[in-house]
Chain A
Amino acid sequence: MSKTPEELLQIHYHPPKHDWMDPSIDFEARRGTWSYPGGVKSLEYLGLPNPREWSPTDEDWKLPPNWQEIVHRGFKDLLTKYRSLRIFMDCCVRCGACADKCHFFIGSGDPKNMPVLRAELLRSVYRKDFTTAGKILGRAAGGRALTIDVIKEWFYYFYQCTECRRCSVFCPYGIDTAEITMAARELLNLLGININWIVEPVANCQRTGNHLGIQPHTFKDNVEFLCEELEDITGIHVDPPINKKGAEILFIMPSADYFADPGIYTFMGYMLLFKYLGLDYTLSAYASEGGNFGLFLSRDTAKRLNYKMYAEAKRLGVKWILGGECGHMWRVVNQYMDTMNGPADFLEVPRSPVTGTVFENAASTKMVHICEFTADLIHHGKLKLDPSRNDWARVTYHDACNPARAMGLLEEPRYLLKHAVNHFYEMPENTIREQTFCCGAGAGLGNDENIDMRMRGGLPRANAVKYVHEQHRVNLLTCICAIDRAVLPTLMDFWVPGVRVSGIHELIGNALVIDGENERTTNLRGEPLHGEGEVSDDV
């Protein structure tokens, strides 16, 4: 049974035995790098195909008998609906510019995590089924038949893409792997192949209004509870309206912000800011989710969940919508919402009631990012901020993929930080802004059974944080994404202990000087302002 060291080592010297075109994934041996399949109840609730009990480790995935035909027809359908997919299937030259840009490839070394090869997994089938050369020449033309092993491989690798779009920045044709991954996931979905950490939140959100499945009374209870906590710390009483008709602004945030640590402190920041401004706004228990896991399943499910934002804005009769700090939420709001569920002709072009600024850039969608909103306030000198209240923190900023690459929201959050904190340090240039590295857990992959893959995928981001941690003693990683706030603490615990994670409006909340507040001795987390965390400014 026992092996000599030589034997142990020997087996690893060989390069991959097969050509990449012959797939075989040993799911049993690769636990920690894939996610559990979508639950029956959730699929049934959503009316999605082929709900059944199954596991990727099973030999038989219990697919419908005509699965090949289903995929072929589905593929054809997508090719007639999305020019992006058609073009991206046709015009890759395999120049390799994208190859080393994927965080999963960097962390794992697995060549199929190179964007070019991830796309080839789908493209090879496209060639075989839809191009003349591929039909005739087969493998010589890069074509590959659709077998059950190919399907299993798709499941493995298209749930190892976080749709972060970093590769598309470097591609000379703008080939966007997110488009390819979305297409592949839609095809898999036709066979009932998906993951529970996406399917369940989608079902929850469809039913209750948010991913976490929080029902309206609990929503209210939670909001009130957090406001009491906030009052304990600041002495400021906050009583946010819920489902209030006729408010000027509907505020929508990711559900993790009123539920999960450390998002709840960002929530307190929002509440404090609105109180300070005397804003006429309302929360909604029906549209109680900013995020949209539907996007990670199919564009149809994205549309289903997103529907609630405009529907609720219309019902409540608000003038415009303000959105909280969330990454993929803003991919949907910025690039999809108006097209999917617009036109929002029942709303007005957003205008800040405090400064009078009209947000022309949101003239059609009528939804403003809270960083844009707050940056405008600070620019007009409307906020009294005491950044020294954040002196316990030495701060860096992680650009969330979607606000960066689907929006270009780069300067606003930095502007906020520069006014809310005294110690701010950027991470290396090729890891921020449009070149930002993903947290490794976006697009529905932030589940705990996928932990090994998350740590691999998050390594490039963590490594850049480690650099500023060592160089400038950075101890706080800020971000404007709810997924980030959920998963980056775990990533930091593993790779860069000593660095914590917060949203930006948490720091705004700390720094905000409000009439009638208690003298602040702690931050919103209830930790002393001048404690161990604080360090002298001598770097």
Chain B
Amino acid sequence: MSLQTQLTPMLDDIRRRWIELIFATYPSDASGFLSREKDQFANPVGFAIRQATATLLDSVVTGRSEHTAEALDQIVRIRSVQDFTASAAVSFVFLLKQAITDVAGELVAKDARAWLELDERIDGLALEAFDVFMQCREQLFTIRLAEQDRWNASARLKRQRGLPVSPSGMHGTGRKEHPRR
């Protein structure tokens, strides 16, 4: 019996452990809110993590990857604007390794070759997560620029029509520093 097949009945436990480990990466979540609150609208972060981990775990075990991009985006997008460095933001993927060894350590130890395959898939997922992270951060900059543009919409329209534009706007002075990263 392949490792994958043997893991199947344990997937729920693995996922639960993985979620636990991800929640623990929120050093500020001393209140345990993420794990406690199950309402999709009252706790979007916890909900996204719960939902996406199911897809990701499935893709790691089965090797199917149709929905991994969306699922990764669901989690990484949130972590990209929270108090995490880049490495910490994507680190949650590696936690899956720990979750699997925590729950199915003996099984894994018996089948090194199969484990290696899973291990590689998880690494692949982590790399992909990093791409998503970078996209999100870049997007933050582009949407900031777009917002500045909207603030002076009539100037933009005038320019399009070749009319003179007088300087004005919300963002004249006071800027002394450059945004992070």
A and B touch in the complex (CB under 8 A): yes
**Interfacial residues, chain A to chain B (CB-CB below 8 A):** 3, 5, 8-9, 12-16, 29-33, 36, 38-39, 41-42, 53, 55, 99-100, 105-111, 114, 196-197, 199-201, 211-215, 218, 221-222, 225-226, 229, 256, 258-264, 428, 430-431, 448-449, 451-452, 455-456, 459-460, 463-464, 467, 486-487, 489-490, 493-495
What A residues does B139 contact at CB under 8 A? 493-494
| Contact A259/B43 with A5-B91, A16-B28, A229-B157 known, Cβ cut-off 8 Å | no
Q: Are A487 and B175 in contact (CB under 8 A)?
A: no
Of the residues B40, B45, B166, contact of A459 by C-beta under 8 Å: B45
Q: Are B177 and A456 in contact (CB under 8 A)?
A: no
Q: Are B151 and A225 in contact (CB under 8 A)?
A: no
How many residues of B sit at the interface, in one of the four size bands?
A: 35 or more
A31 to B139, CA, bound (A): 17
A258 to B176, CA, bound (A): 28
User: B126-149: which residues lie under 8 A (CB-CB) from chain A?
Assistant: 136, 139-140, 143-144, 146-149
What B residues does A486 contact at CB under 8 A? 147, 150-151
For A494, give the chain B residue with the smallest CB separation: B143
| Contact A110/B28 with A259-B152, A261-B153, A449-B179 known, Cβ cut-off 8 Å | yes
A13 to B23, CA, bound (A): 9
Tell whether B64 is near chain A: CB-to-CB under 8 Å. no
User: How many Å from the CB of A156 to the closest CB on chain B?
Assistant: 12
A56 to B170, CA, bound (A): 21
What B residues does A14 contact at CB under 8 A? 27
What A residues does B9 contact at CB under 8 A? none
Q: Are A196 and B174 in contact (CB under 8 A)?
A: yes
Of the residues B33, B94, B166, B170, contact of A218 by C-beta under 8 Å: B166
The proximity string for B residues 30-41 relative to A, scoring 1 for CB distances below 8 Å and 0 otherwise, is 110110010111
User: How many Å from the CB of B17 to the closest CB on chain A?
Assistant: 14
Q: Are A55 and B169 in contact (CB under 8 A)?
A: no
For the A-B complex, the count of residue pairs with Cβ-Cβ distances under 8 Å equals: 189
User: How many Å from the CB of A375 to the closest CB on chain B?
Assistant: 28
Q: Are B42 and A106 in contact (CB under 8 A)?
A: yes
Of the residues A16, A29, A38, A218, contact of B174 by C-beta under 8 Å: A38
What A residues does B172 contact at CB under 8 A? 200, 213
Q: Are B45 and A31 in contact (CB under 8 A)?
A: no
A119 to B170, CA, bound (A): 31
Q: From B52-60, B74-82, B103-111, give the one contacting chain A.
A: B74-82
| Contact A226/B83 with A15-B30, A41-B173, A111-B28 known, Cβ cut-off 8 Å | no
What B residues does A215 contact at CB under 8 A? 168
Q: Are A30 and B83 in contact (CB under 8 A)?
A: yes
Q: List 7 A-B contacts (CB under 8 A).
A: A32-B179, A107-B82, A199-B174, A258-B154, A259-B154, A451-B179, A460-B42
User: B150-167: which residues lie under 8 A (CB-CB) from chain A?
Assistant: 150-154, 156-158, 163, 166
What B residues does A41 contact at CB under 8 A? 173
Tell whether B44 is near chain A: CB-to-CB under 8 Å. yes
Q: Are A262 and B83 in contact (CB under 8 A)?
A: no
| Contact A222/B180 with A448-B148, A452-B81 known, Cβ cut-off 8 Å | no
What A residues does B151 contact at CB under 8 A? 256, 259-261, 486
Tell whether B2 is near chain A: CB-to-CB under 8 Å. no
7 A-B pairs besides A39-B173, A448-B144, A459-B44 with CB distance below 8 A are A214-B168, A222-B154, A225-B154, A455-B140, A456-B82, A490-B143, A494-B140
What B residues does A452 contact at CB under 8 A? 81-82, 140
A213 to B171, CA, bound (A): 10
For A32, give the chain B residue with the smallest CB separation: B180
A196 to B174, CA, bound (A): 6
A161 to B50, CA, bound (A): 28
| Contact A455/B29 with A42-B174, A260-B151 known, Cβ cut-off 8 Å | no
Tell whether B11 is near chain A: CB-to-CB under 8 Å. no
